[in-house]
A and B are shown apart, each in its own frame.
Chain A
Amino acid sequence: MENRKILEIKDLDISFHSTTETVHAIRGVDLTLRQGETIALVGESGSGKSVTMKAVMGILPEGAVINKGSVIYYGPDDLKNGSGAAPGKIGNAAPGEEQSDGDNGVDLLKADKEWVRRNMRGRRIAMVFQDPMTSLNPTMTIGGQLSLAISSHGEEKGYRIKERAVELLREVGITEPERRMKQYPHEFSGGMRQRIVIAMALSCNPEILICDEPTTALDVTIQDRILELIVSLQQKLSLSVIFITHNLGVVAKVADKVCVMYAGKVVEKGTVIDVFYDPRHPYTWGLLSAIPGTGLKGDLYSIPGTPPYLSKDPVGDAFAPRNPYALAIDFKAEPPMFRISDTHYAATWLLDERAPKVKRPAELEEHIKEMRKEVAEYVALRE
């Protein structure tokens, strides 16, 4: 039933070094993306969503050090045979271990940088950033930037480059593409610019599209349009999408699976249905309660406190100090990932068999009921 794996992040661990301190930002993240699906990466600012994805792209900022872990890309067969040597190939330790998913995985963290640039960035994995106002080169025409992106991997040549640029602009919903090619970024609105950024990201037909909060910087009225565009492009081009957001509200509209991150770790993951119908981690409860909805009365809920500053590794569960349901053990030991179903996992001691049975707050249950209808609609719409 499930498609083949296309990207697998294993036990990724990243810290940031500055002259005064070390911040342990990513503390063992696992994530598997399958062909054609959309995973939403959810969490507060600073939970490590963007850093994880920048590590996948190989564009971590200065001072970032990858302590351990791997990012494995499973390509189509031509990667193994066609593109010459794929350095850093998996299987040094135990060849054959990865056989089940094909043995053509490449660890992007160990691969040669120039090889990654030529074969991965833009060509197989592309990224759309948060702020379209600053994502485009202000002194180059849209057409020029698109053409550069198209020709960067030598997929198209000569007059075909321009044709492809026009085609891409039309695909993302820019009217009069021929005329607008000659215009500069400042002549476009934010929503239009994000469309152009998406067109550029898709210019070399990548298999994986990473969207880093693509609607956060946009007008509320435009946000839905961009989401619709991403969903429709995903279906049309059978893209695999990782969608970073801190807004659970948009998740139901776009994602198949949800990964909730907190303080550099994945605390709950499952399908959209799993997480929206039956959330298990108290942090997820908090996030869901914070979605404005019709069912919720009174003030909008917000999770008390702030996320920990990771200059020291937290003792026990990082969420414990903010968790009204925290158990004594939460302050002593870090919870493992508990399996709830084949698709649903959460890292909270509440799922231990010895833990007292804690019910979700009644208000949240109400809220979940409200959202169910919505979520069901979106899920049905996509299938």
Chain B
Amino acid sequence: MKKYMLKKFIISIVTLFLVVFILFLLMELMPGSPFNNDKLTEDQREMLEAAYGLDKPVLYRFLIYVKNIFRGDFGVSYNLSINTPVSLMISSRLPVSMAIGLGAMALGSVSGLLLGFFAAFSHAPGSGKYGKIADSVCMAISVIGLSVPSYIFAIVMSYFCGFRWKWLPLLYDFRKPVTSSLMAVISLSIFVAAVIARYTRDEASAVLRSDYVLFAISQGLSNGQILMKYVIRNSLMGVITVMTMLLVGLLTGSLVTERIFSIPGIGFLMSSAIEANDYNVVVALSFVFASIYVTARLLLDLLYGIIDPRVRVSGEGR
């Protein structure tokens, strides 16, 4: 297990290094420059480039960049808010996006798992007609959640809960972070819940039809025992994979939802940075996204090992 995790860890580090390298190169290849301003003369532009070190060769700049990353220095913003350290810009916004993302993930997972397990048990062998109807209802809810974009829910909710009935604040407020981000959390969690419900239902009903559950039934185990000891753990493997992917999507912020509730998160920052050609912010944010992804993968592998003894012993990832 230790060897397995060490291997995964080294692979993660190498992946991150490659990500930074490719990002840096891509940015270099992009047309335009942060100083695309008609009012600047050629001399002024060269002066600016020299001041920020942009006149040096690419490889040299890359090495300096990597060296600085280790000190937590991602350079300064060229454009959005000139000369502010990028790390500061990100660190003030990342927690907001992450809190909302984690909240949506938690809410979506719990409701998705409940809905999925309920649906799976409803259409388990021998459940009868009403079970089939219950299953269909659950899956219809899931299809709606999957096909309607989260910003629709966000707009509808902000109209009713925020504007008409005035239950919740319409916009994000630093003084009331919980209540003011609640609508964003809910609207983002609907998609998560729908995806998880779908996967949980499929995985759990496959487990319910497996030979080992049939054997357990033939031994006279109760439905509760079969659920707790057999179904949950064996169906979680597939679900957890999807959960990680969803979590990464949520942690990196949602552009539209953040705009609707004017939440100062990193999704918002990313789109502005791309528009403004602000190299350092884009690269740094991409690096942060990649780190979140790699960390999530690493945690996922660790979780696999905990849940499935086969991974633990053989040391082979899935």
| A interface list, Cβ under 8 A from B | 57, 59, 61-62, 117-118, 120-123, 126-127, 129, 131, 134-141, 144, 148-149, 152-153, 184, 186-187, 197, 200-201, 203-204
Contacts and interface: CB of A to CB of B under 8 A. Distances in A.
Contacts of A123: 220
A139 B308 contact: yes
B57 interface: no
Interchain residue pairs A-B with the least CB separation, the first 10: A121-B220, A122-B220, A122-B219, A134-B211, A184-B309, A127-B218, A62-B125, A135-B215, A139-B233, A137-B212
20 contacts: A59-B214, A59-B217, A62-B125, A123-B220, A126-B218, A127-B218, A129-B214, A129-B218, A131-B211, A135-B215, A138-B310, A139-B233, A140-B233, A149-B221, A152-B220, A152-B221, A184-B309, A186-B309, A200-B219, A204-B219
Interface in B196-249: 210-212, 214-222, 225, 229-230, 233-234
A57 B126 CA distance: 14
B204 to A, nearest CB: 14
Contacts of A122: 218-221
Interface of B: 125-126, 210-212, 214-222, 225, 229-230, 233-234, 307-310, 313
Contacts of A153: 220
A136 B212 contact: yes
Contacts of A126: 218-219
Q: Is the interface of A mostly helix, strand, loop or mixed?
A: loop
A201 B215 CA distance: 9
A61 B125 CA distance: 7
A201 B229 contact: no
A134 B212 contact: yes
Contacts of B229: 137, 140, 144, 148
Contacts of B211: 129, 131, 134-135
Given A62-B126, A135-B212, A136-B212, A121 B233 contact: no
Contact of A57 (B212, B218, B221): B218
B105 to A, nearest CB: 24
A117 B212 contact: no
Contacts of A134: 210-212
Contacts of A117: 220, 222
A138 B125 contact: no
A123 B218 CA distance: 10
